[in-house]
Amino acid sequence: MAEQAARMRTVDEHLAGVLSGIGSIDPIEVTLLDAQGLLLAENVATDVPLPGYDNSAMDGYAVRAVDVRDASPANPVVLPVVGDIAAGAKSRSGMGPGLTMRIMTGAPLPAGADAVVRLEDTDGGVARVSVTSGVRSGENVRRAGEDLAVGAPALASGAALGPQQIALLAAIGRDRILVRPRPRIVVISTGSELIDVGRKPAFGEVTDSNSYLLASAAKDAGADARRFGIVPDDHAQLLDVLESQLLRSDILITTGGVSVGAFDVVKQALSELGTVEFTRVAMQPGKPQGFGHIGNGVPIFCLPGNPVSALVSFEVFVRPAIRKLLGKRNLQRQSVQATALETIPSKQGIRQYRRGVLHREATGGYSVSLVGGPGSHLIASMAQSNCLVVIEEETTEVVAGSRVTVIPLLLANR
Ligand code: AMP
Ligand code: MG
């Protein structure tokens, strides 16, 4: 058959094709806590200074520095205390030369003062205070706008929004900002053998785990993911469901039905649309892949149904697509080099992804052992893995003790 004889696409070729088919989503306005983990989609400048007014960095006494220039423990300078200023004072007080005011951290510096003597450098007097250390002009004073001046850029479009950035936005009075939104993803499991979790499977029935696998993986990658649930291997029902989900989705994901079996309905039904391409990718697991667009250009991934294949396909193709939609520059997970604890055979010309357990060595490096055989149906051993071991196309054997590339499957918020 011509299709069988055709050269398989490499993983990198297929990924490049996928990413070129992923556009962008219009920015949306969100409140600050909903911005956590997203990228800013506007340049933010401040229209208030930070700090907002000259204030004291210490609990102490506001002074004119020249008045206490020569103060020392041996020669204290005694000043009359003409008032108290607490944080929250609603107006700026003032004081004349040769006088002082008791001031609290964050309270507005009075007119006439240019420095603050720390409480520790005084006798703490209430009516009169004895100052035992001199200060320079400006000492212990936070100047209005020294952190951020009015009109200064606070954050640039593209900035990743974590606690520090969200704090700054709050400090300058922005409670809503434009961000790149979380892509909305709907996951659809296909297969007439599938039943919903919670029901006891009769003979021949399989509980749908892929929609949970993929929806949680998509959430972890930053998407706003939902499970549609199960669709049987039926051409018309599949097309109806896809149609019904189009408006709610920035990406659609199906699993199952993309091999060459007689009931591989996803492949049959979507091939006819002509906008989704089904290919064989030189990888194991995850060889059959479908990708394209349906409706008004909504990207759709048609992943194989075996759970391990679904996981690997998600990691290799869907996760980078989600990150692209989020506006992230780095689309790939960070990989590490680890010492293989066993010899791993691999087929020439195929990139193999094996599940592994990554160990931190006492010496600082990593080592990795495999868990589960090459079978793509092994859900229990998949649950023990914490990484994927990547064996490159040209490698036919990773010898025990040699270095191998490993992708830790770290959770985003752990
Ligand atoms: P398929 O890709 O449809 O040929 O399915 C391959 C294998 O994966 C079959 O053994 C299916 O029963 C199984 N499978 C397909 N979809 C799911 C799913 N959503 N959850 C768990 N197993 C599945
Ligand atoms: Mg099937």
As a whole number of angstroms, the distance between CA 180 and CA 192 comes to: 37
CA of residue 355 to ligand 1 center, whole Å: 18
Give residue 206 CA to ligand 2 midpoint distance, Å. Answer: 11
Phi, psi for 272 (deg, rounded to 5):
-65, -30
Report residue 324 CA to chain centroid gap: 12
Cβ atoms of 295 and 251 within 8 Å: the answer is no
Ligand 1, CB cutoff 6 Å, lining residues:
189, 191, 193-194, 206, 208-211, 255-257, 259, 261, 304-307
Task: Compute the average pLDDT of residues 281-299.
Answer: 97
Annotate 79-127 with DSSP letters as a single string. Answer: EEEEEEE-TT-SS--B--TT-EEEE-TTPBPPBT--EEEEGGGB---SS
Q: What is the mean pLDDT of residues 244-268?
A: 93
Strand pairing class (298-303; 288-294): antiparallel
Tokens for 148, please give them. Answer: 């951020």
pLDDT in tens, 33-68: 999 999 999 999 999 999 999 999 999 999 999 999
The model's pTM: 0.92
Q: Beta strand 77-85 with 100-103: parallel, antiparallel or unpaired?
A: parallel
Kindly indicate the confidence band of residue 3, based on its pLDDT and cuts at 50, 70 and 90. very low
CA-to-CA distance for 375 and 285, rounded, in angstroms? Answer: 8
Which atom of ligand 1 is found nearest the CA of 288?
2
Q: How far apart are CA 240 and CA 210, in angstroms?
A: 21
Q: What is the pLDDT of residue 414?
A: 58
CA pair distance 294, 298, nearest whole angstrom = 5
Whole-number Cα distances in Å, 315 to 69, 189, 357, 383: 67, 17, 17, 15
For residues 357 and 369, the answer to whether their CB atoms sit within 8 Å is yes
Residue of 188, 197, 267, 306 best suited for mutating to test ligand 1, as the one with most atoms within 8 Å of CB = 306
Q: How far is CA 191 from CA 20, 187, 393, in A?
A: 30, 13, 31
Q: Across the chain, what does the average pLDDT equal?
A: 96
Is 224 within 8 Å of 182 (Cβ atoms)?
yes
DSSP of 130-198:
EE-S---TTTTEEPTTSSB-TT-EEE-TT-B--HHHHHHHHHTT--EEEEPPPPEEEEEEE-TTEE-TT
With contact defined as beta carbons under 8 Å apart, do 252 and 188 qualify?
yes
> Ligand 2 center to residue 113 CA distance, Å?
79
Nearest CA to ligand 1 atom 14: 305
Q: What is the pLDDT of residue 413?
A: 66
DSSP 8-class letter at 9: B
Which letter does DSSP use for residue 287 in this model? -
Q: Indicate which ligand has the atom closest to the C-alpha of 379.
A: 1
Q: Which ligand is nearest to the CA of 254?
A: 1
Residue with tokens 């590339």: 405
Ligand lying closest to the C-alpha of residue 259: 1
CA 265 to ligand 2 centroid distance, Å:
8
Share of the chain above pLDDT 90, in %: 93
Host H or E run for residue 381: helix 379-384
Residue whose CB lies within 8 A of the most ligand 1 atoms, among 190, 194, 216, for a mutation test: 194
pLDDT digits (tens, 9 = 90+) for 177-206: 999 999 999 999 999 999 999 999 999 999
Element (H, E) at 313: helix 307-313
Mean pLDDT value across residues 221-234: 97
